[in-house]
Structure 1
Amino acid sequence: MEHINTRGSEWRKWDLHIHTPASINQNYGGENAWEKFISSLENLPENVKVLGITDYYFIDGYEKIMDYKLNQGRLNNILKIFPILEFRIDTFGSTNENTLSKINLHILFNIDESKINTEIDLIKKEFIEVIPISGNDKYSTKMLTKNNFIEICGNLQKGFANLIPPTKKVFETLNSTTWNDRIFTFLGYKEWSNLDKNKQLKDTKEWLYDKVDAFLTSNHINYESNKRWLNEFGDKPLIHSGDIHDFNFLDTLDKKTNNYCCMTWIKADHTFEGLKQIVNEPYERVFVGDMPPLLKNMEGRGGKYIDRISVKPIQSETSWFDFEIKLNPSLVAIIGNKGSGKSALADIIGLLGNSQRTDFSFLNNNKFLKLKNGHKFSAEIQWHNELTDSKTLDSKPNHENVPKVHLLSQNIIEKICENVDDTIFENEIHKVIFSHLSKEEREKCNSLAELITAKTNSIQKQIRQKFEEIKAINEQIIFYEKSLFTENINKLNNLKDDKKIEIIDHLKLKPAQVKKPIEQEQSPEMKKILDELDTVNIKGEKLKKQIDEMINEQTNINKKLTAIKNINNTIDILKEHIQIELSKLGEYFQLLGLRNSDIVKFTTKKGDLDKLKNDLTLRKSEISKDLDESLAGSVKNKINILKVQYTKLKAKLNENEQNYQNYLSLKTDWKNKFRDLYGSKSEPTENSYNFYRIELKKLDNYRLNIPELKKRRISKSQEIHQLKVFLKNELAKLFQPVALFLETNTIVPKKDFKMEFSTEVENRDFKKNFLEFIDRGAVGSFYGINESDTVLTELISNTDFNQADSTVKFLEEVCNRLYFDHRNQKKEMRLQSQLRSERKESDVLNYIYSMNYLTARYKLKWDGKELSELSPGERGQMLMIFYLIIDKSDIPIIIDQPEDNLDNQSVYRVLMPCIKKARDTRQVIIVTHNPNLAIACDAEQIVVSNINKQDNNKVSYNTGSIESKIINKHSLDILEGTREAFTKRGAKYL
């Protein structure tokens, strides 16, 4: 009966070349050495679990060892012992130019230990004793026995040295129906490799290669070079064993020596069927060296590998679950019919491992939890470091705890792959990309999005600052352009001419002169009144002049306060940017034992600036009070008081004096109005003649300034573009580790690996947003729905937004079409006339030159298509590649039906190699209804799920390896009910 290793295929050391004291050629000491020999085997390193007991031609040594094991309770440290007969074959290989060495054929037999005596007799009678002792015709009737060796040559050793059984007969017998499926053959590598030393026996060498299953070598030092040379003939395994003949090498009882050496690890059940797997998977199943990478990877990392899962009912009458499964640390495939409990096991592992994804396919309120039975079951997970976690099945994952497994349930995969919104899919991709960044590269951020934000914040602020500058430039350009409109020029000329006429008319209204009354005729009382009037006028003029000065001062104060604000804002931005950049260097300063303040100091002396701001603010407040006529004591209030005094004094004058004072008042008013009409030559008041004259003169400067302003605008846009390119390069640095990984991918064939990365400065919806400003029914370059679409599509398609020159050309081309109608011989156009009624010129110009429509982003493509264009199947392929071979997480990953939405070609060409690669660095558990996937991936462990609906839906799990006959049978029963599912690797099965 077969012993089932429920954990599936495991790495063990197999030493398949140990001679016994019964061997014809040995130096143990013969029959007296057996006890020491058995004790030496019992003291082999604990990872040696399978032995090949080798004797020349005969099986006596194996027979005795099995007596020790089966009848005397010895050798309990060894799980399996195979009998191996070593034959010299009648072809010679040269070890050097002058010597010949015999090539050894090793024949391993599959024996049913439950009837061992019968099996040994069968080997003796139907194999050994049917082989002639020599190919020489005169011995053709002499069969292979020790007595015949002695009879012909005088003693056993001479017979062994001189007589070689015919190789052809050996192979004929091995190919008989009795043995052809019960033997495994090896050739000695060294002697075989020397066969064609002088090229005479090359055909024989190739013939022998084809005849055997594997090769043996006792030289592990040159193993890699020997293996490369052997691979020129094919993929047959080369395994190592010390070829032990004595206690010098089987020295496990001697604590002073350490000569025993076996470097061969085989990942298989300790069965004949397990051994046969090394022919099908020579690279995956055989490792020659100190320790297979998986076992080395597990050292000190037991918390990353699940050892076992169990679910027990809390109440005895509860059905459904009552099981314990020991899991293989490599690839586990959970298979079974629909509704048999596959997803249940995956969800339970996800729950116990605190997976952050909780979209369970089975443990949800629409299925199992709907029955309110979750609290009746206690589930436990044990890790290889022997720590455990337990929960009831109605528990919820604690998102504050670190996830110990990563579950991709059916629900999760469907949500990611079939959701039209790319955000969910991109978030999953981002998680994997983030895993490739070193601790230093992550800059203390917890996600890729957070890291991108941290890296781009200061740049975005600079972009916003430059955008504000562009807005100011656009306002100025628009003002200048409108000022130069013909109607505006005509209007200014007309206003100037009108003002000239007004001045001429005003000159005609100059008051007639009234003579000043003679002072001698004035009474003392009248003189006193006149003196008081002069005093009031003088005071009034002084106060008016003071008000004019205060208004000018107030204007200057506002300008200075704005300058202070801009200085402070710029300093704050600069300070924040420096702090951000210095924080990135924190760990480096710490590594060097320095403080960043020792190297870089950013200090500001804003005391004088703050004092000036306070003084100006105070003075501004004082002026505001003086200009408030409602406040007693203010300058304006004093003027009003003087006006009242003037009116009262004037009323006391005689008629002549009143006429003269009226004249003076009229004259003053006439002069003031003339001044207002004509205006000063340097700073004329608004609406004066000189104001319009100067405004017209300014237009010449506007014409000269517009091209310079446009150059400045383009320059600022170029600076924004440069910052966006910088952002693109920063993104490229983040994605570089993954991009390099993809470029050097050898896991999936290049023709099937259709993934590519790029980072670009990309246009996002310029056409759509730009046309929201445009009235496409208005005359201009963008007239017409279809026509404007075509124009913009062509402009965009001809632009490489990654290149500054191309981008600048795009800006100027779009802007030029707004100012000139390219449909009508580039007729000059007014910008506002082409805009929708609610839009302003500044809106569209700010949009064009701000380049907010350009964004630095990475692009991940599959077969030339972006994420939004991928089918669910293509998304599935990409997701599996990311999680299986790109993701650097080392916690177990559980994937429920990864092959869904994938065609068979994708499963074999893409998914299969990814799964096989992933198991090298982490425990992989897949749930699948596709038998080809489990088999093609050579899963280390098969978990067969079954539900018994007649027994209250009790779920059970049978586990074992692919090579296990019992698991094989279970698999065939449930996997589509046919053996056809196993055709890919037929040699693995019954």
Structure 2
Amino acid sequence: MITRGSEWHRWEPHIHAPGTLLNDQFKYGDWDGYLTLLEAATPRVEAIAVTDYYTTSLYEEVLSQKARGRLPGVALILPNIEVRLDVAAKSGFVNLHLLVDPHATDHLVEVRRFLARLQFPAYNDRFACTPEDLARLGRMADPAISDERAAFAHGATQFKVNFAQLKGVYVESAWAKANMLIGVAGGSGDGTSGLHQAADQTLRQEIEKFAHFIFTSSPAQREFWLGQRGLTAQELQARYDGCKPCMHGSDAHNLTTTAKPVGDRFSWIKGALTFDSLRQSCIDPACRTFVGPEPPKTAMPSQVVSQLVIEEADWAATKSIPINPGLVAIIGARGSGKTALADMIAAGCEALGDTAWRQDEDVSPSFLVRARPLIGDSKVRLQWGGGETTGGYLDGRDVDDAWSFPRARYLSQQFVEELCSARGASEGLVREIERVIFEAHANDDREGAVNFGQLCENRTERYRQARQREAEAIAAISDRIATEFEKDAIVTSLQSQAAGKETLIKGYTADLAKLVVKGTEAQANRHAELSAAVQTLTGCIAAFSAQRRTFVAMQDEVKNTRTAKAPEMLRQAIARHPSSGLNASQWDAFLLVYKGDVDRALTGYIAWADEQIASLTGQPVTVGDPTAALIASDADLTKLPLSLLKAEMGRLEKLISADTIVRNQYSALTQRIATENSALQKLRMQLVDAQGAAERRKALQQEREDAYGRLFTAVISEQHALEDLYAPLMTRLTAMSGTLRKLSVQVSRTADVASWASHAEDHLIDLRKSGPFMGRGTLAEVARTELQAAWEAGSAAEVQAAMASFIAKYTKDLLAHAPYAPADQTAFRKWSTQFARWLFGTDHLAVRYEILYDGTDIRKLSPGTRGIVLLLLYLALDDADDRPLIIDQPEENLDPKSVYDELVPLFMQARSKRQVIIVTHNANLVINTDADQIIVADASPSMGSGLPTFRYVAGGLEDADIRKQVCDILEGGAEAFQARARRLRVRLER
């Protein structure tokens, strides 16, 4: 035996035929039309359960038609005997279906014997379920009927089977239990769904518990019977003796519906076209049965090895092996050629690996490498489901790893040992997990990245740049705060200087009064008024002049921004965003330009300032008669130009004293007073500015704290970006159970408090000075208490609050440890800037991720446990890789219960998306996964020094011979299995 094992085939498990006993809508005797429809059905029907009420006559007729050459594509024909229970449904009565193994010895005779034991009491008599008694019942019910077949049909409508009786007859019949499967209709018309009254609940449950399968086309019912809706599989086991397969046929009573179920709800059964496959579907309904337009999708044909051929190999008795696209289990005794077969498949896929081929024959675990001296010119050829052929020499001579792409993933024992070894190779496992995480993201979400590192960079670069910008902003604000500290420190000095200036001006004013000649007091007073007006006007002109200088400087700045600053900022932006895909002309749109016409505006502002200065200055004034006043006594001095005011002051100075010397002194002293007043005015402006430094410093400090909060927002956003990166994987892991839930990813912030404190102790504070931070290590202790928790787990607001609290408590103490005195302004300012940058720095913070297994970083796991993680990775999480997965002894690091609890469901899930080939000694991985194909390896000793002769047989679990070999090899035989069960006091039920 060597077959591809269990494959999907379309069955018609419920179809009537011309002449069906009840509701016959076929054209009388139109067997040709009926058979032609079956032969032409799409998808092809390969198994037919011919259905009729209480009889097998139509089944026998279809067999005779098959014998005459009809239905060449149908490999299995079996009887489906429909009986009606004496249980009323919504419309009619509940129907049961008895499907019989057509290959059972004397199955027709035994079926008739079974049916004859079913009796219906009526008319003071008992009627057996035989054609004769049914016809007799029909005539009793309607004496007007004379035709024998009509009487038979009418009797069938009257005959009802008692459920308890049917159940008893079945239980008492060893033949029936061995060769008959019972189904019940699940619909509301003639099925158990029609038993919706509360009083019928127990009866409905008993009928459904008794049935082996359910006839239903309802997706909701199919999900229910698979433990996916309403009840779990465990609850179904307790209440209904387990999950049940659901099938659906066309239930055709006419040619129109023959092999055409409503909604293309075809029945698919996985397994050989034998009754044993139907039995197997009752054991593994989720894996073996499906209702739908086409069978469940598995691996893509182009990614499936469909045939292995061994050429030029006298040591291979079996030259060709068909391979199932699902789960393939290779079993056999030690040294039987299991790993040899896996190696050959891997070699044909170029998946054995350069490392394996380069190993020494004496130490390599690979069969092909060890056997290389004896293999000779043997080749392997693989036929793929898509039609492609690959292969090569089995000694590896034509392997070219520089250009080859492995067509399969081969987890040999050597590969697992290398990837999960204790010699630091665990980084390879980390990279594999990162690859799976990357591929868990849809192509649309990968943002052009080709690997995990690039995707991680894409997701976090934005926040790292924001972090850098806020750090630069904090540094700039710290410089401004240092300036405000300096201004605050000179308030007293400015006050002293201003007081000195006031005293000096007061003295000058007194001296000026002494120079006034008696009789000219009025002129002197007028001169003083003019002097005050001149000083005010001079201040205004000075302000306009300062504005003009500012506008001119802004013109220079605008020019510099256009020619140097903005182009450089654009170049930096282009460098920061190399993946933008923008061309030079598109990037030009990002060149910083001024919103308005600043050139025109600044030119206008300068012209305006010039106008204001000219207006305030006025035109030159020529003084004529010294006795004639230039300005009327009642004129508003604030509205006169500077030139007129100064001319009038000059006229008055000549009248105040006729003595030239005195007049010059008066003029000079007046000028000196004006100069000192101007200086005093500047001092007062500086003093006002310095006196406001404290408030501005507080505002800047708040601004810096806000920037620190924004910086931490960027840090936290980076953390969230990494969490989002792992979210697809974590979502899947959370939904899984068992060992997979032990695998997790943890993203966290870490604060290196020691390095943060050490930097300050080494470069910024004097540990020799007495104070709370005297001596090494004290700063780190305070930081751990006050800051570490917020740094590592707090929100941006919490971090900001913690830093504000730290500053309020300890800044004064830290300043006391400064290596420079505040009086040393240059050194202290430089130090304070460095101090602030350190205090608000984040170089000691990092966002990191760990891949954990059961709470432990995988880098710290034992090699065996890493192997478990690797297996979980490929079986459950590696969705993007649809290549065949070949694993040599996956159970190696797990106990039998873990194999059953963890690996069995994972293998069952994995085969739905890729071809899986395993070499195993574990019965759970073959039987409880319901493996699609079992390849049994056997070897006979070599004659001399050559290789053993390898033979292989293959089939599915529905094949009795395969099941026997599985039991013999993996369980030690049925007797050994039963002996163990007895010793363990486990009850085995047949």
Structure 1 length as normaliser, TM-score? Answer: 0.66
Q: Distance in 2 between matches of 1:267 and 1:461?
A: 57
Aligned: 1:238 with 2:246: yes
Q: Which residue of 2 aligns with 1:626?
A: none
Q: Which residue of 2 aligns with 1:410?
A: 413
SS state at 1:753 partner: helix
Residue 312 of structure 1 contacts residue 321 of structure 1 at CA under 8 Å; is this kept in 2? no
Q: Distance in 2 between matches of 1:602 and 1:406?
A: 48
Q: Distance in 2 between matches of 1:566 and 1:851?
A: 34
Residue 474 of structure 1 contacts residue 842 of structure 1 at CA under 8 Å; is this kept in 2? yes
Aligned: 1:602 with 2:590: yes
Q: Which residue of 1 aligns with 2:648?
A: none
Evaluate the alpha carbon distance shift between residue 703 and residue 605 of structure 1 in structure 2; reply closer, same or farther with a 3 A threshold.
closer
Quick check: 812-821 or 802-811, which moved more?
A: 812-821
Q: Which runs of 5+ in 2 are unaligned?
A: 140-145, 490-555, 595-689, 821-830
Q: Distance in 2 between matches of 1:220 and 1:442?
A: 39
Q: Which residue of 2 aligns with 1:851?
A: 842
- Same amino acid, percent of matched pairs: 23
SS state at 2:407 partner: coil
Out of 132, 149, 152, the residue aligned to residue 147 of structure 1 is 132
Q: Which residue of 2 aligns with 1:179?
A: 176
Q: Could you list the per-position Cα deviations for residues 817-842 of structure 1 after superposition, in whole angstroms to 9, with x for gaps in the alignment? A: 99888xxxx9944579xxxxxxx999
Aligned: 1:961 with 2:956: yes
Q: Distance in 1 between matches of 2:906 and 2:80?
A: 38
Q: Distance in 1 between matches of 2:703 and 2:360?
A: 62
Aligned: 1:433 with 2:437: yes
Q: Which amino acid aligns with 1:42?
A: E
Q: Distance in 2 between matches of 1:462 and 1:194?
A: 63
Q: Distance in 2 between matches of 1:445 and 1:977?
A: 53
Q: Could you list the per-position Cα deviations for residues 710-743 of structure 1 after superposition, in whole angstroms to 9, with x for gaps in the alignment? A: 8887677556544433433433443333344445
Evaluate the alpha carbon distance shift between residue 251 and residue 878 of structure 1 in structure 2; reply closer, same or farther with a 3 A threshold.
closer
Q: Which residue of 1 aligns with 2:303?
A: 304
Q: Distance in 1 between matches of 2:135 and 2:693?
A: 123
Q: Which residue of 2 aligns with 1:488?
A: none
Q: Which amino acid aligns with 1:11?
A: W
Q: Distance in 1 between matches of 2:950 and 2:909?
A: 31
Q: Which residue of 1 aligns with 2:39?
A: 42
Evaluate the alpha carbon distance shift between residue 424 and residue 565 of structure 1 in structure 2; reply closer, same or farther with a 3 A threshold.
farther
Q: Distance in 1 between matches of 2:880 and 2:416?
A: 18
Q: Which residue of 1 aligns with 2:369?
A: 369
Out of 757, 763, 788, the residue aligned to residue 750 of structure 2 is 763
Aligned: 1:157 with 2:157: no
Q: Could you list the per-position Cα deviations for residues 777-815 of structure 1 after superposition, in whole angstroms to 9, with x for gaps in the alignment? A: 989878899988866655534643553355457778999
Evaluate the alpha carbon distance shift between residue 341 and residue 444 of structure 1 in structure 2; reply closer, same or farther with a 3 A threshold.
farther
Q: Which runs of 5+ in 1 are unaligned?
A: 253-257, 486-559, 587-594, 607-698, 833-839
Q: Which residue of 1 aligns with 2:428?
A: 424
Q: Could you list the per-position Cα deviations for residues 222-273 of structure 1 after superposition, in whole angstroms to 9, with x for gaps in the alignment? A: 9769977999975333321122233343389xxxxx9896621122332222
- Pairing of 1:154-233 with structure 2 (within 5 A): 155-159=148-152, 160-161=155-156, 162-164=158-160, 167-175=163-171, 176-189=173-186, 190-193=189-192, 196-217=195-216
Quick check: 946-955 or 388-397, which moved more?
A: 946-955
- Pairing of 1:526-675 with structure 2 (within 5 A): 571-572=567-568, 574-578=570-574, 581=577, 583-584=579-580, 597=585, 601-603=589-591
- Pairing of 1:266-415 with structure 2 (within 5 A): 266-294=269-297, 301-313=300-312, 317=314, 319=315, 323-355=319-351, 360=356, 366-367=363-364, 368-373=368-373, 376-393=377-394, 394=396, 395-396=398-399, 398=401, 400=403, 403-415=406-418
Aligned: 1:448 with 2:445: no
SS state at 2:741 partner: coil
Residue 302 of structure 1 contacts residue 385 of structure 1 at CA under 8 Å; is this kept in 2? yes
- Pairing of 1:808-847 with structure 2 (within 5 A): 828-829=816-817
Q: Which amino acid aligns with 1:575?
A: R
Q: Distance in 2 between matches of 1:781 and 1:574?
A: 48
Out of 730, 737, 740, the residue aligned to residue 748 of structure 1 is 737
Q: Which amino acid aligns with 1:16?
A: P
Task: Report the aligned-residue RMSD.
Answer: 5.3
SS state at 1:134 partner: strand
Residue 20 of structure 1 contacts residue 26 of structure 1 at CA under 8 Å; is this kept in 2? no
Q: Distance in 2 between matches of 1:447 and 1:953?
A: 45
Q: Distance in 1 between matches of 2:779 and 2:948?
A: 66
Residue 19 of structure 2 contacts residue 29 of structure 2 at CA under 8 Å; is this kept in 1? no
Quick check: 238-247 or 146-155, which moved more?
A: 146-155
Q: Which amino acid aligns with 2:251?
A: D
Q: Distance in 1 between matches of 2:319 and 2:46?
A: 28
Alpha-carbon offset, residue 386 of structure 1 = 0.8
Residue 242 of structure 1 contacts residue 260 of structure 1 at CA under 8 Å; is this kept in 2? no
Out of 117, 120, 131, the residue aligned to residue 134 of structure 1 is 120
Q: Which amino acid aligns with 1:206?
A: Q
Residue 818 of structure 1 contacts residue 829 of structure 1 at CA under 8 Å; is this kept in 2? no
Structure 2 length as normaliser, TM-score? Answer: 0.66
Alpha-carbon offset, residue 78 of structure 1 = 1.1
Q: Which residue of 1 aligns with 2:267?
A: 264
Q: Which amino acid aligns with 1:14?
A: W
Q: Distance in 2 between matches of 1:226 and 1:856?
A: 46
Q: Which residue of 1 aligns with 2:967?
A: 972
Q: Which residue of 2 aligns with 1:885?
A: 876
Aligned: 1:83 with 2:79: yes
Alpha-carbon offset, residue 851 of structure 1 = 2.2
Residue 355 of structure 1 contacts residue 404 of structure 1 at CA under 8 Å; is this kept in 2? yes
Q: Distance in 2 between matches of 1:342 and 1:788?
A: 65
Alpha-carbon offset, residue 855 of structure 1 = 2.3
Q: Which amino acid aligns with 2:190?
A: E
Q: Which residue of 2 aligns with 1:247?
A: 255
Alpha-carbon offset, residue 10 of structure 1 = 1.6
Q: Which amino acid aligns with 1:187?
A: V
Alpha-carbon offset, residue 459 of structure 1 = 5.8
Q: Which residue of 1 aligns with 2:11?
A: 14
Q: Distance in 2 between matches of 1:43 and 1:312?
A: 40
Q: Distance in 1 between matches of 2:561 and 2:378?
A: 68
Q: Could you list the per-position Cα deviations for residues 158-192 of structure 1 after superposition, in whole angstroms to 9, with x for gaps in the alignment? A: 34333445554433332222221221001233323
Aligned: 1:931 with 2:919: no
Q: Distance in 2 between matches of 1:84 and 1:582?
A: 70
Out of 88, 91, 98, the residue aligned to residue 107 of structure 1 is 98
Q: Which amino acid aligns with 2:277?
A: G
Q: Distance in 2 between matches of 1:599 and 1:812?
A: 41
Q: Distance in 1 between matches of 2:224 and 2:791?
A: 58
SS state at 1:434 partner: helix
Evaluate the alpha carbon distance shift between residue 704 and residue 431 of structure 1 in structure 2; reply closer, same or farther with a 3 A threshold.
same
Aligned: 1:63 with 2:60: yes
Q: Distance in 2 between matches of 1:191 and 1:364?
A: 70
Evaluate the alpha carbon distance shift between residue 571 and residue 240 of structure 1 in structure 2; reply closer, same or farther with a 3 A threshold.
same
Evaluate the alpha carbon distance shift between residue 841 and residue 927 of structure 1 in structure 2; reply closer, same or farther with a 3 A threshold.
farther
Evaluate the alpha carbon distance shift between residue 723 and residue 347 of structure 1 in structure 2; reply closer, same or farther with a 3 A threshold.
farther
